[in-house]
Amino acid sequence: MTSSSLRKRKKRLRILKNKRVLLGITGGIAAYKSIDLARRLGDEGASVVVAMTEAAKQFVTPLSLEVASQNKVYTSLFDEPMAHISLPSSADVMVIAPATADIIAKFAHGIADDLLSTCFLSYSGKVVIAPSMNWRMYENRIFGENLRKLLSTGVVQVGPERGDLACGEEGIGRMAEPAEIVETVMSALTEKDLAGEKMVITAGPTREYLDPVRFISNRSSGKMGYALARAARDRGASVILISGPSYLKKPQGVGFVGVETSAQMMKSVKQSVQGDTTVLVMAAAVADFSPAVTSRTKIEKTGDLNIPFRQTEDIISSVLGAGKRPYIIGFAAETGNNIARAQKKMKVKNMDMVVFNDVTEAGAGFDVDTNKVVIIDRKGKTRLEVMSKDSVADAIFDRFIEIKA
Ligand code: PMT
């Protein structure tokens, strides 16, 4: 791996460092979450300047936002002459959270009658909106048209989520959580160097059923595969994530298929890998063995149990047989520093790249946030230190881009 790709990866993970975020806050109950959002953006190294609407001040005070952002808060067109030009022109990204139906309608129609709407009209950079409102408003046809119009100009949407709403009803309309908004802002600012790639990524464990209530599985959490899906999405690829059972939150903006068994994962991979799929990443810990017979009823306790297992069909090999093949990135989960075994897997399964991880090492493998890998491809090996699974995902795609170049 070249030092320039290492630099690029680190840069992506610190993408908000020294960036200027113009945070617009409008009048919705979720405005209280924007205090946390301002703080989190600041934690990522961004300098946050807040522009609040009059209605926002009914929900949260400018002073709270001044403390959270450690910057002057703007609330009126007349706070400072030309603020509607100077604030956007120095911003790297504009984030509107919460974004009410009113501000979305104004943005979509070019209405500029207060500081925030005027800032938006004079801004030509990336804009992220986090809508928040009652579900009846969110599902209103006219609102839907406004939203679609706004998104068609390149504005990026995050949320809303379904759940309990402030009005006591349940439905879609809860503002996305601040952590997710930060993630979306980082994604919006990331260089789209995987644009045009169509990826199928697998994650998590599979479950192989002995009977309706018992299964064998493994310790995979899905963290590695989900990190790959997020990184590929952020870098512009279109992604289908096929996941075994996982407690992780589905990443936004990727196609998602949930499966349980290795047979279901096989079926789903075969259906998802089409002629135009460019990359298959197999990060899932697919069971190698499955009970030869699954009992229809709960197996009774009558003494020791001997169950014959059959080897499962290999998913990677099955995709290889399907005509035009995508670039195949597999993983090798080894118990010990057995790189030769990973290389053998790569050869036997005809993979283009294999990511070796010794799952017995501290900070590597199953259910931890970090991994320690060796990326092996047809040209050589890249040994990486322990790093977050997000960084490992970026390193894998950096190497893929290097090889393709
Ligand atoms: O999910 P986490 O908690 O974050 O943990 C991450 C991880 C340890 C699961 C991940 O880093 C990892 O190593 N995934 C691959 C685990 C595995 O099944 O390795 P393997 O060496 O047994 O298999 C080699 C490759 O063949 C893998 O890409 C696997 O997906 C694939 N395979 C395996 C069995 C099968 N029937 N079909 C397959 O295609």
Average of per-residue pLDDT values in the chain? 94
Query: Model pTM?
Result: 0.86
Distance CA 107, CA 104 (A): 5
Nearest CA to ligand 1 atom 5: 366
Question: Which atom of ligand 1 approaches the CA of 364 most closely?
Answer: 8
The pLDDT of residue 263 is above 90? yes
Distance CA 393, CA 227 (A): 6
Q: Is the CB of 372 under 6 A from ligand 1?
A: no
Q: What is the pLDDT at residue 52?
A: 97
- 103 vs 275, residue with greater confidence: 103
Nearest CA to ligand 1 atom 23: 332
Taken in order 127, 130, 132, 138, the sign of the CA dihedral is: positive
Centre of ligand 1 to C-alpha 206, Å, is 10
Q: What is the pLDDT at residue 323?
A: 67
Least confident of 94-108, 309-323, 369-383: 309-323
In 3D, which of 145, 2, 120 has the Cα closest to residue 51? 120
Contact (Cβ atoms closer than 8 angstroms) between residue 265 and residue 315: yes
Q: Is the CB of 285 under 6 A from ligand 1?
A: yes
pLDDT band at 6 (very low <50, low <70, confident <90, very high): low
Q: What are the tens digits of pLDDT across the range 111-154?
A: 999 999 999 999 999 999 999 999 999 999 999 999 999 999 99
In 3D, which of 251, 267, 273 has the Cα closest to residue 329? 273
Q: What is the pLDDT at residue 164?
A: 85
The pLDDT of residue 247 is above 90? yes
Q: What is the pLDDT at residue 252?
A: 87
**Would you tell me how many other CB atoms lie within 10 Å of the CB of residue 335?**
11
In 3D, which of 280, 238, 267, 221 has the Cα closest to residue 257? 267
Centre of ligand 1 to C-alpha 28, Å, is 45
Token pair recorded at residue 258: 């949930």
HSE toward the beta carbon, residue 78, CA cutoff 13 A: 1
Contact (Cβ atoms closer than 8 angstroms) between residue 402 and residue 377: no
Q: What is the pLDDT at residue 10?
A: 59
Q: Is the CB of 164 under 6 A from ligand 1?
A: no
Strands 373-377 and 380-383: antiparallel
pLDDT band at 319 (very low <50, low <70, confident <90, very high): confident
- Give yes or no: 119 in active site: no
Q: What is the pLDDT at residue 21?
A: 98
The pLDDT of residue 212 is above 70? yes
Question: Which atom of ligand 1 approaches the CA of 204 most closely?
Answer: 1
Distance CA 280, CA 322 (A): 13
pLDDT band at 168 (very low <50, low <70, confident <90, very high): confident
Centre of ligand 1 to C-alpha 334, Å, is 10
Centre of ligand 1 to C-alpha 384, Å, is 19
Peptide bond into 98 cis (omega under 30): yes
**Distance of alpha carbon 127 from its chain centroid, rounded?**
18
Among the listed residues 167, 179, 340, 348, the single catalytic one is 167
Task: For a ligand 1 pocket test, name from 226, 246, 286, 310 the mutation site with the most ligand atoms within 8 angstroms of its C-beta.
Answer: 286
Nearest CA to ligand 1 atom 14: 283
Q: What are the tens digits of pLDDT across the range 169-207?
A: 889 999 999 999 999 999 999 999 999 999 999 999 999
Centre of ligand 1 to C-alpha 333, Å, is 6
Q: Which domains does the chain have, with CATH numbers?
A: 15-189 (3.40.50.1950), 198-293+306-404 (3.40.50.10300)
Q: Which helix (H) or strand (E) covers residue 127, if one does? A: strand 126-131
Distance CA 304, CA 151 (A): 61
The secondary structure of residue 55, as a DSSP letter, is: G
Most confident of 62-71, 77-86, 315-324: 62-71
The pLDDT of residue 3 is above 60? no
